[in-house]
Amino acid sequence: MIGEEQLLGLLKRVVSRSPAERTELVCMGGRSGLTRYTKSAIHQNVIEEDTSVYVRVAEGKRLGVVTVNRMEEEELVQAAARAVEVARHQPENPYFEDFPQPAQYQKTNTYFEATAEFTPTARAETMKKIFAQSDRLGFEVAGAFSSGEAEIAVLNSNGLSAYQPLTHAQITIVPVSEHGMSRSSAFSHDVSTIDFEGLAARGLERCALNKDQQEIPVGQMDVILEPSCLADVIMWLSMIAFGSSSFIEGRSFLAGKLGEQSMGDNITIYDSIVEPEAQGLPFDFQGFPKQKVVLIERGINRGVVFDTMSANQAKTKPTGHGLPPGMPHGAIPWNVCLEPGDSSLEEMISSCRRGLLVTNFHYVNGFLAPKNALMTGMTRYGTFLVEDGKIRHAVKNLRWTESMLRAFSNVQAISREREVISDEGGSFALMPAVYVKDFTFTGVQKEESE
Amino acid sequence: METKEWLKAALENLSRDGVDYADARHLDRESESITVRNEQVAGLSRKSDSGFGIRVLYKGSWGFAASARLTEASVMDTANRALEVARASYLTQREAVKLDGSQPQRGSYKSDFEVDPFTVPLDKKLGLLFGALKVLRQDKRIGVAEGSMSFFRTDKLFLSTEGAEIMQSIMESGAGISATAMEDGELQRRSYPDSHGGDCLARGYEFIESLRLVENAESTREEALALLSAEPCPADTTDLIITSSQLGLQIHESCGHPTELDRALGTEISYAGGSFLTLDKLGKFRYGSKIVNLYGDATIPGSIGSFGYDDEGVPAQRFPIIKAGIFVGYLTSRETAPIVGGQSTGAMRAQGWNHIPLIRMVNINLEPGEEDLSLDDLVADTKDGILVATNKSWSIDDLRLNFQFGCEIGWEIKNGKRVRMLKNPVYTGITPQFWNSCDAICGRSEWRLWGLPNCGKGEPPQTMHVGHGTAPARFRNTEVGVKK
């Protein structure tokens, strides 16, 4: 970590020396460590330190981007000169007007000393306790535990200056028995808030249930989807539907259909950086303040997210969702939340006459038919048959193929509790559990033919 | 070269500190990626990335530290931190890591190319892409026309406490175009020469020119438009012919990943998954029919799955994986190879200086059929079936058994002829069942090597460049379409 004063000072000097008409610098860097384990022993343990600067310049309406991971002032000034050369060979971008003006940002608390100072030895000591906990039940543990600190700064020749430090602690615990596996995970900016023992205990309890998996016939069944399943699906919806490019180009199911109903009236999906359970980066990679954006409101298509250029193209206002310079994807939502309901996972199970409890999805793909949000994927880490309000037994992993518009039109219940599913870069999904009627399963995981 | 001397000194210090083994990699990478969409440059960036990573084996436990700061003090500090991390790993050790007896190598490797893509003016590259897009956009129903190019130049230095010293320099170039046709809510896409950014080889700009993007744009556009009015792929069980690039992805997902020994040993089960090809199956499991032969081969010139030495300094090799349908070999590393009684196949690679090497695919190739069967011959030999081309969607379970692939285009085959185009073709199956149903593979003249520059694995995620050589093949009684 370079620190706010020193980093912004360096970037300011580079902007002042840049040969470009206009200059924007986006700096991302930090120190992170990751410990991976299997069979209750660490098999991979890494730390890295890196900082990259995206130098974007504008010559009139021509843009050029050069990225370097050297932090010497001269190197950055030279990168600006190379970016000018790139810009001069590009056609004009009719949607570029200017880099954003200085702005005020929401305050979000994303940095905690306890996490920044969490060492590889501390991660190993934590895992040693969890391994001992699983040893007592005769299970092995696999997974990953990462922690680190990062800083993101944006500075441009209009005087905009934005800086945010972040820390992250993220752990995945996968208990493994001779019969099956389960998975529990946690994310927090503050490592001291993670209840490692409780998390492991929940995973171990689920793992004990995941045995004697029986095969059930494929077809339509009610499902109770836990939050991590929805996080996978929402990530795909962000790519194929809630971003600016898919909307402008007509590939999104929202394109030309704002104001129309596409999901059930109990579904509200929005992007927000300040939630009771999680906080995110208050600006995008252009330094534009992040706005709360309602994507789906009571099942009705309300909007998508934009950066400055895609907003100009769509003749609307930016929402603060720009990606790092030079990327071709337009704007993408980063902090997608599904509004909670008034149920609970236990109530959903007890109300289910016959259905499946799905704890995790695997390898979801949303490119089958994006206009219908048709997706496929597998279940993983424990799929359980629920009958007459009780978990009866585990079943073999299943392939599902389903339109998410149909699935989100068939939601019968939503939990009050939500789970933060995140990566270390300031993005997260905040998802409840949901009960979906008539979800479509199309295959089974097994070695012999179906 | 100061960096080399600093890294050597750091390794000597680690040896004095009593480590079992240590290696250091320094990497310099220049890259350029260009994406044009309709009339705009949607993305264009040039990136310089350099740094070093030091891997330490201490009392049988691994540690790794990496830094972009290239000073003598930073190198020494990073080496010490790698040792500190290894000591932390040792706190939970249950079994000590032992490396195979691969001999340390001293040498160099350089991939061949004719035209350095980084010297080709940007105007020329953009002119080629916009020229192709102009052809794609000659029908107003093409809502999105896209073209892209990417170039990588990587210089790598590898040193180890065993005395290895290797320099490698690899140039890679890739490009592709696509047209998305839209009408009345229908959306269909065709790509050339493949989806996922086209094709990529370890060549220079001459490879981009050989793709003839402008000349192939018209047929790409016309197929996208024709798909708008094509019938949907029916749900059925029928014979399936898979053309070359889609078969490459099929091999990637259903043969390449499950034969990575680290997956089979469980080190990826909390993320990418395990493998149904467990150790007890080695040498006896019937993976496919007798005509199915698959090899790993990192020695093929011009492929992005080729190199001189892997990131443990082991020389590139050609080795069997599936022989006459029987599973006979894994992709291995120096740590894992002794577990199955062998030496590393040289498959350990890291995305960058800041990543540790993992077992990654090299070129995983399907041998062509013995007879020189053409694709037309294969269609003529098929009474009822479907032919599919170019990947659109992909999904496979955590053990690599149950897969579902969607393709951009399909054709129904009746009595040896393509009778109609089909949109949204999807097929699904169980890996060994599927490969055992393979009854014909086209010959050498149909065989082509494809580059796949986006293979994901590991935590933190690493993207690797791999290759797949294939010829079209037929699979009997395959489930196509999606059952209601």
pLDDT tens by residue, B141-187? 999 999 999 999 999 999 999 999 999 999 999 999 999 999 998 99
ipTM confidence score? 0.95
Distance (Å, whole) CA A430 – CA A416:
12
* 8 Å CB contact between A330 and A244: yes
Contact B45 A326 (CB under 8 A): yes
Give A378's contacts in chain B (Cβ within 8 Å): 395-398, 402
Contact B404 A42 (CB under 8 A): no
How much of chain B is in helix, strand and coil states, percent to nearest 5?
Answer: 25, 40, 35
- The reply to whether A248 touches chain B by the CB within 8 Å rule is no
May I ask the CATH class of domain B2-112+123-229?
A: alpha beta
Do A267 and A190 fall into the same domain? Answer: no
User: What Rg do the C-alpha atoms of chain B give, in angstroms?
Assistant: 24
Neighbour-count burial of B381, counting CB atoms closer than 10 A to its CB (0-12 exposed, 13-18 middle, 19+ buried): middle
What is the mean pLDDT of the segment spanning B426-436?
A: 97
Identify which of A43, A65, A328 has the shortest CB distance to residue B37.
A328
Q: Where are the alpha helices (DSSP H) in B229-374?
A: 244-251, 261-264
Is A366 inside any structural domain?
yes
Could you say which of A207, A223, A250 is where a domain stops? A207
User: What Rg do the C-alpha atoms of chain A give, in angstroms?
Assistant: 24
**Shortest Cα distance, chain A CAs vs residue B59, angstroms:** 13
Per-domain boundaries in chain B: 2-112+123-229, 232-480
Q: Is A139 helix (H, G, I), strand (E, B) or coil?
A: coil
- The reply to whether A34 touches chain B by the CB within 8 Å rule is yes
**Shortest Cα distance, chain A CAs vs residue B270, angstroms:** 5
Confidence of residue B484 (pLDDT cuts 50, 70, 90): low
**Shortest Cα distance, chain A CAs vs residue B430, angstroms:** 6
Question: What is the number of structural domains in chain A?
Answer: 2
Sign of the dihedral through C-alpha B211, B212, B216, B221: positive
Contact B66 A48 (CB under 8 A): yes
Q: Which are the contacts of A10, defined by CB distance < 8 A and separation ≥ 6? A: A2, A71, A73, A76
Give B267's contacts in chain A (Cβ within 8 Å): 36, 38, 43-44
Identify which of A42, A125, A445 has the shortest CB distance to residue B397.
A445
Nearest CA in chain B to A220: B484
HSE toward the beta carbon, residue B47, CA cutoff 13 A = 23
What confidence score (pLDDT) does residue A422 get? 82
Is A257 inside any structural domain?
yes
Do A376 and A422 fall into the same domain? Answer: yes
Do A236 and A361 fall into the same domain? Answer: yes
Q: What are phi and psi of B426, to 5 degrees?
A: -130, 140
Q: Which are the contacts of B196, defined by CB distance < 8 A and separation ≥ 6? A: B176, B391, B452, B454
For tokens 């935590």, name the residue.
B459
What confidence score (pLDDT) does residue B403 get? 97
* 8 Å CB contact between B276 and B257: no
Distance (Å, whole) CA B262 – CA B6:
32
Could you say which of A207, A222, A242 is where a domain stops? A207
Q: Kindly state the DSSP code that residue B222 receives in the 8-state scheme.
A: H
Do A231 and A147 fall into the same domain? Answer: no
Domain range for A131 is 4-207
Identify which of B85, B182, B404 has the shortest CB distance to residue A45.
B85
In 3D, which of B382, B127, B134 has the Cα closest to residue B240?
Answer: B382
B165-183 and B142-160 beta bridge pairing: antiparallel
Average pLDDT value for chain B: 97
| Long-range contacts, B67-70 (Cβ 8 Å, 24+) | B67/A48, B67/A49, B67/A50, B68/A49, B68/A50, B68/A51, B68/A69, B68/A70, B68/B353, B68/B354, B69/A49, B70/B3
Is A450 inside any structural domain?
no
Nearest CA in chain B to A146: B460
Do A274 and A139 fall into the same domain? Answer: no
Q: How many CB pairs under 8 A join A and B?
A: 261
Do A192 and A254 fall into the same domain? Answer: no
Instruction: List pLDDT tens digits, range B113-136.
Output: 999 999 999 999 999 999 999 999
- The reply to whether A67 touches chain B by the CB within 8 Å rule is yes
Report, as ranges of residue numbers, the positions in chain A whose pLDDT lies below 70: 423-425, 448-450
From residue A392, give the alpha-carbon distance in Å to each of A354, A441, B1, B194.
Answer: 10, 19, 66, 46
- The reply to whether B131 touches chain A by the CB within 8 Å rule is no
What confidence score (pLDDT) does residue B482 get? 85
Contact B187 A251 (CB under 8 A): yes
Instruction: List pLDDT tens digits, range B60-79.
Output: 999 999 999 999 999 999 99
Tokens of B39: 């009339």
What is the mean pLDDT of the segment spanning B16-35?
A: 97
Distance (Å, whole) CA B463 – CA B33:
15
For tokens 């930090």, name the residue.
A30
Give B269's contacts in chain A (Cβ within 8 Å): 38, 142, 174, 176, 181
Residues 398-437 of B with CB under 8 A from A: 398-399, 401-402, 404, 406, 424, 426, 428, 430, 432-433
Do A200 and A267 fall into the same domain? Answer: no
Do A234 and A136 fall into the same domain? Answer: no
Do A221 and A288 fall into the same domain? Answer: yes
Q: What are phi and psi of A274, to 5 degrees?
A: -125, 105
- The reply to whether A62 touches chain B by the CB within 8 Å rule is no
Q: Kindly state the DSSP code that residue A200 receives in the 8-state scheme.
A: H
Contact A371 B62 (CB under 8 A): no
Give A144's contacts in chain B (Cβ within 8 Å): 270-271, 459
Is A449 inside any structural domain?
no
Q: Is B229 helix (H, G, I), strand (E, B) or coil?
A: coil
Instruction: List pLDDT tens digits, range B342-366.
Output: 999 999 999 999 999 999 999 999 9
Do A421 and A308 fall into the same domain? Answer: yes
* 8 Å CB contact between B198 and B211: yes
Give A54's contacts in chain B (Cβ within 8 Å): 45
Tokens of A54: 């995206």
Do A194 and A260 fall into the same domain? Answer: no
Q: What are phi and psi of A348, to 5 degrees?
A: -65, -45
Amino acid at B100: D
Contact A44 B356 (CB under 8 A): yes
- The reply to whether B30 touches chain A by the CB within 8 Å rule is no
Instruction: List pLDDT tens digits, range B405-421.
Output: 999 999 999 999 999 99
* 8 Å CB contact between A408 and A372: no
Q: Is B136 helix (H, G, I), strand (E, B) or coil?
A: helix
In 3D, which of B69, B64, B49, B74 has the Cα closest to residue B155?
Answer: B49
Write the CATH number for A198. Answer: 3.30.2290.10
Contact A363 B187 (CB under 8 A): no
Instruction: List pLDDT tens digits, range B209-255.
Output: 999 999 999 999 999 999 999 999 999 999 999 998 999 999 999 99
Give A251's contacts in chain B (Cβ within 8 Å): 143-144, 180, 187
Residue burial B420-430, b: 16+ Cβ < 10 Å; e: rest:
ebbbbbbbbbb
Identify which of B67, B143, B430 has the shortest CB distance to residue A447.
B430
Amino acid at B223: E
Is A418 inside any structural domain?
yes
* 8 Å CB contact between B154 and B40: no
Instruction: List pLDDT tens digits, range A237-285.
Output: 999 999 999 999 999 999 999 999 999 999 999 999 999 888 999 999 9
Contact A368 B406 (CB under 8 A): yes
Instruction: List pLDDT tens digits, range A378-405.
Output: 999 999 999 999 999 999 999 999 999 9
Do A350 and A370 fall into the same domain? Answer: yes
What confidence score (pLDDT) does residue A450 get? 41
| Cβ-based neighbour number of residue A392 at 10 Å | 12
